[in-house]
Amino acid sequence: IQAQFNVTVRDALNQAMDEELERDERVFLLGEEVAQYDGAYKVSRGLWKKYGDKRIIDTPISEMGFAGIAVGAAMAGLRPICEFMTFNFSMQAIDQVINSAAKTCYMSAGLQAVPIVFRGPNGASAGVAAQHSQCFAAWYAHCPGLKVVSPWNSEDAKGLLKSSIRDDNPVVFLENELLYGVPFEMSEEAQSKDFTIPIGKAKVERAGSHITLVSHSRYVGHCLDAAAVLAKEGIECEVINLRTIRPMDVESIEASVMKTNHLVTVEGGWPQFGVGAEICARIMEGSAFNYLDSPVTRVTGVDIPMPYAKILEDHSLPQIKDIIFSVKKTLNV
C-alpha cells in the first residue's frame, strides 16, 4: 500500500520548481519578490538561497518589461518561469504573452519554440475588489498557441507544473491563492522526481451515474462537497476535474455525459464566453448531445465586477448551495 502524505498546494508547487531547476540548468524563475522575500505567497521559499541570483531573479514592478525579458530568454534557448504576483497584473503584459509568446511558433513556421511558463494566482481571492479578482481562464484559453492549465489539488499542481516547465510551448499556469495553504493527500508516486501529469487530460475525481459536474481549480472542491451532500439524498454526481482548459479534454466530458445524461458546469469566472459556455458549445456540436436528457446548466461567477464587501463577494461567486440547486433543477427534482 502506498504511503500518503499531506502536502499543501504551495509546497507542491515549490517541489515542482525545485526539482525542475535542479534537473535542467536552463530553467530559471523571475518575477516580483520571488527571490530574497521567498515569494509574495512563499511559493518560491528557499529557492533563492539554494540557486542564487542567476536562477532566481527579483524584478521591478514592470510586468510588460519582465514578461518580455522572459519571452526573449525563451527564444534564446532558456526555459523561464515567469511569475505574475497575480494574473490580474498579467493584463499589463498580455501583448507579450499573446503576440510575442503564443504566436511565434506558428509565425516562424515551427522554427522558433518559446518554452515558457507564466504562473501565479488567478481568479478571486478574498476582499481585494474588482481589479484583483478576475479569472483569466477564458481570456487565455481563447488564444491558439498557448496551453492553459488550471490545477486543483497538490498532485495536480506538482505534476502539471513539471509538465508545463518541460513543454516546448508557452503555458499559462493558473493557480489559486485560496488553495495555497490547503493540504491535500499526495501519494508516494506523486512525491517522486519523475512524477508528471500530461497536459490536456481531465480526471474523474468522483464516479457517479446521475449527473456530471465539470469544473476547474478551486471549484472542483465545491463540486465534491456538493456531491457528498447530494449523495445523502440519493443523487450520485460524477465530478470531473478539467485540469487543462486548453487543449480541453472534451472526450472525457462526453464519455461521462453519455453515462449520466445530465451536465452542470461550475466555474468562478464570468458567464459570457466562459469555460462553461465553451463546454456547452462543444457538447452540443459533438456526439454526446443526443444523450442529454435536459439542457446543460452553467454555474458561474456573477456578471459584474467583483464587489469589495464580503457579503456581496460571497453572493458573486458560486457557493455549494448554488451547485446543489442547479443539479436539482437539471434533474428536475
Band of pLDDT at residue 3, cut at 50, 70 and 90: low
Q: Going by C-beta distance under 8 Å and a sequence separation of 6 or more, which residues neighbour residue 42?
A: 10, 180
Per-residue pLDDT at 256 exceeds 90: yes
**What pLDDT sits at residue 1?**
56
pLDDT tens profile 272-300: 999 999 999 999 999 999 999 999 999 99
Report pLDDT for 47. 98
- The CA-CA-CA angle for residues 211, 245, 152, to 5°, reads 70
From 63, 254, 267, 313, the catalytic residue: 63
Find where cell 464516479 sits: 207
pLDDT digits (tens, 9 = 90+) for 159-191: 999 999 999 999 999 999 999 999 999 999 999
pLDDT mean over 198-221: 98
pLDDT, tens only, 105-164: 999 999 999 999 999 999 999 999 999 999 999 999 999 999 999 999 999 999 999 999
pLDDT at 4 over 80: no
Q: Which three cell numbers stand for residue 246?
A: 486548453
Evaluate whether 188 touches 152 at the Cβ level (below 8 Å): no
Is 274:298 a contact under the CB 8 Å cutoff? yes
Copy the grid coordinates of residue 178: 485560496
Q: How far apart are CA 183 and CA 191, in angstroms?
A: 14
Tell me what the pLDDT averaged over the chain comes to. 97
E runs forming strands in the chain = 4-8, 27-31, 56-58, 79-83, 117-121, 147-149, 171-175, 183-187, 203-206, 211-215, 237-241, 244-246, 263-266, 297-299
Strand 147-149 versus strand 244-246 pairing type: antiparallel
Distance CA 91, CA 295 (A): 35
**Structure-block grid coordinates of residue 3:** 504511503
| pLDDT of residue 19 exceeding 60 | yes
Peptide bond into 247 cis (omega under 30): yes
pLDDT of 2 higher than 90: no
- How high is the pLDDT of residue 151? 98
Active-site annotation holds for 222: no
Model confidence pTM above 0.95:
yes
User: Which tens digits make up the pLDDT trace of 43-96?
Assistant: 999 999 999 999 999 999 999 999 999 999 999 999 999 999 999 999 999 999
pLDDT of residue 20: 98
The answer to whether residue 132 is catalytic is: yes
How far is it, in rounded angstroms, from Cα 283 to Cα 48? 46
Q: pLDDT band for 5, please (50, 70, 90 cuts).
A: confident
Which listed residue (33, 132, 142, 236) is catalytic? 132
The angle at the Cα of 181, spanning 20 to 30, to the nearest 5 degrees, equals 40
pLDDT exceeds cutoff 70 at 31? yes
